[in-house]
Chain A
């Protein structure tokens, strides 16, 4: 069984730029959730995707957007990067029948300078 993978591992961007983070879900899982974790905090829910559509969204502005592909992999796009976007971005996958039993990837560390 393949676990959740994310790429890249680390990324450094400049304020105002755009970034795309990628996630491959665990085999057998059809739902992907994205979280942002600032230093010293718990993860904050960004949104969830199921069947290539956004299924729910947290308190994040529209410049945070996502995609899910037919193979259930997903992308997180952030436009007009701000310094406060610096964080660990976590992707989690789950099966629809147990949507809260979420398995996390290793994360992408984004630094905005």
Chain B
């Protein structure tokens, strides 16, 4: 099973609708990073959450971190076709030795389609 599980796996919405993507960890979260990826391309850094309860916004995208629930959510308000892509959450999850060595563990991604 995945250490970071994203839900839903895919999402199709009409332009203008709000949507939420969730990322749940099986381990303690020491920071959570959200990225966006166009198919077959590199990852674009969206935002970083470091403290429990932290909430950040950029344009119409808001991300929150709930450390107690080991969960983060990404909310898009009034979606636009330009929001379409694959959204990935990543976190420096610690291994059994208590280290992560610069490794980001990623979820499997959520594919977002926005119909005009």
Write the residues of chain A forming the contact surface with B, with a CB cutoff of 8 angstroms: 4, 6, 31, 33, 40-45, 48, 50, 55-58, 88, 90, 92, 94, 99-107, 109
Contacts and interface: CB of A to CB of B under 8 A. Distances in A.
Interface of B: 4, 31, 33, 35, 40-45, 48, 88, 90, 92, 99-109
Contact of A42 (B40, B88, B103): B88
Nearest to A3: B42
Decide if the interface of chain A is mainly helix, strand, loop or mixed.
strand
B64 to A, nearest CB: 18
A45 to B, nearest CB: 4
Contact of A101 (B4, B48, B106): B48
A68 B69 CA distance: 38
Contacts of B31: 100
A99 B92 CA distance: 10
Contacts of B99: 56
B36 to A, nearest CB: 11
Contact of A104 (B35, B92, B100, B105): B35
- Counting chain B CB atoms within 10 Å of each CB, which of A44, A56, A94 scores highest? A56
Nearest to B109: A42
